[in-house]
Amino acid sequence: MRVLLITVCFAFTTANAAEIHLRDGSVVMGTILGLQDSEDLVVDTEYMDEVIIDWEAITLVRETQIIEVELFNGERIFGEVVVDEKGVSIIGAETTITLPRDRIFSIAEVSESFWEGIDVYTDVGMNIVRGNNEVTQLSFGAGIGYDGVNFESSLDATTIINEQTEGQDLRRATLAGNYSYRLPRNWQVSGLLQFESDDQQGLNLRTLAGGALGNRVYNERRMRIDLHGGLVVNSEEFEGQPRNESLEALLGSVFRLRSLRGIDIDASLFILPSLEQSDRVRMQFDASLSIDLFADLDFKLTVYDRYDSQPPEGNDTNDSGLTLGLSWSY
């Protein structure tokens, strides 16, 4: 349950809980889950589930658990936290740092166990295109991620099936793993491994393995933009052709927008020019619009495009589509 806390709040004493005082004199006890959009503190309470508290309505926070505080410049600081009218004080083992509230990008308790740092999601969608050849497009997705102190990793799987009244059904499947290690000043170094098949482009299997250096060039309350550059080895096998391996550059951007009304936009564009095959360029584009329905369930619109400037003869240069569906995360 999500509650927008304005002036009324109840306090319940919980062992090792954060103590949060509001301007109206009420007190909340619970576990700090995070600073949502840098404006609302999300707290998990024993009796009211999750509550959302206006960051500016808070006069005092006392927290004895270890807290991770992320600044807008990407710096992360760990320690006990006291929030008052003067700012946010992070109490470390050897020193105490006090910062103004407007420098804080996110704040959350450090997971006490490995399992608390895991996030999972699953998607299901469908789109029907009517005409001379009716096409029903089904999509399935699932993923798991882990956010550690200095790194994050993820494993995502997607399958899209185009069922046609005339012609052969077409499928596209992707399994992708990513590991990113955080560096100072919003830099990160990443390693990736991806497996992909695509009937529409005649691709039996493509394996990508490589690494990239990235930087968060724009990091504000509701919007983030990351840029990435690196190298990958592309090992691919098309229908009726021998397996081929080549080196590709990787140039990409990731965009994220979080709105006030539970509407989120995510988009990524990666361009992979071949360093060995003349004039060959591949492109991967994904975008989604998510609308919060209730609890952890979202309505989701997804658009994708896969481009290859030199596909095998008789195959399409593009494989693109749109799906509507539901997404559940935990």
pLDDT at 4 over 70: no
**Tokens at 220, concatenated:** 């504000």
Of 94, 110, 126, the one marking the end of a domain is 110
- Whether residues 70 and 191 share a domain: the answer is no
pLDDT at 18 over 90: no
**Which residue(s) pair with 273 in the sheet?**
281
Structural domains in the chain (count) = 2
pLDDT at 36 over 50: yes
Which pLDDT band holds residue 213 (cuts at 50, 70, 90)?
A: very high
- Whether residues 69 and 135 share a domain: the answer is no
Which pLDDT band holds residue 19 (cuts at 50, 70, 90)?
A: confident
Mean pLDDT of the chain: 85
pLDDT at 209 over 60: yes
- The kind and range of the H/E element at 50 are strand 49-54
- Whether residues 295 and 171 share a domain: the answer is yes
How much is the pLDDT for 131? 52
CA distances from 74 to 148, 182, 198 (A): 15, 9, 37
Neighbours of 58 (CB within 10 A): 19
Whose tokens are 């804080």? That residue is: 104
Residues spanned by the domain of 54 = 2-110
Determine what percent of the chain is predicted with pLDDT higher than 70: 88
How much is the pLDDT for 51? 84
How much is the pLDDT for 38? 61
Give residues with Cβ within 8 angstroms of 72, minimum separation 6: 103, 104, 105, 219, 220
Give the pLDDT mean for 204-221: 92
Give residues with Cβ within 8 angstroms of 21, minimum separation 6: 27, 58, 59, 60, 61
- Whether residues 324 and 287 share a domain: the answer is yes
Q: For 121-161, what is each residue's pLDDT tens digit?
A: 999 998 766 555 567 889 999 999 998 778 899 999 999 99
Q: d(Cα 79, Cα 96) in Å, to the nearest integer?
A: 9
CATH number of the domain to which 149 belongs: 2.40.160.40
Of 82, 110, 138, the one marking the end of a domain is 110
- Whether residues 40 and 125 share a domain: the answer is no
pLDDT at 192 over 90: yes
Give buried/exposed letters for 210-229 (b at 16+ CB in 10 A, else e): bebebbbeebeeeebbbebe
How much is the pLDDT for 63? 78
- Whether residues 41 and 183 share a domain: the answer is no
pLDDT at 6 over 50: no
Q: For 57-113, what is each residue's pLDDT tens digit?
A: 888 888 777 888 888 777 788 888 888 888 888 888 778 888 888 888 888 777 666
**Tokens at 96, concatenated:** 């105490």
Whose tokens are 């895991």? That residue is: 118
Assess contact for 189 and 153: CB atoms under 8 A.
Answer: no
- Whether residues 199 and 272 share a domain: the answer is yes
Phi, psi of 163 (to 5 degrees): -95, 125
Neighbours of 128 (CB within 10 A): 11
Q: For 241-292, what is each residue's pLDDT tens digit?
A: 899 999 999 999 999 988 766 789 999 999 999 999 889 999 999 999 999 8
Give residues with Cβ within 8 angstroms of 144, minimum separation 6: 118, 119, 120, 154, 155
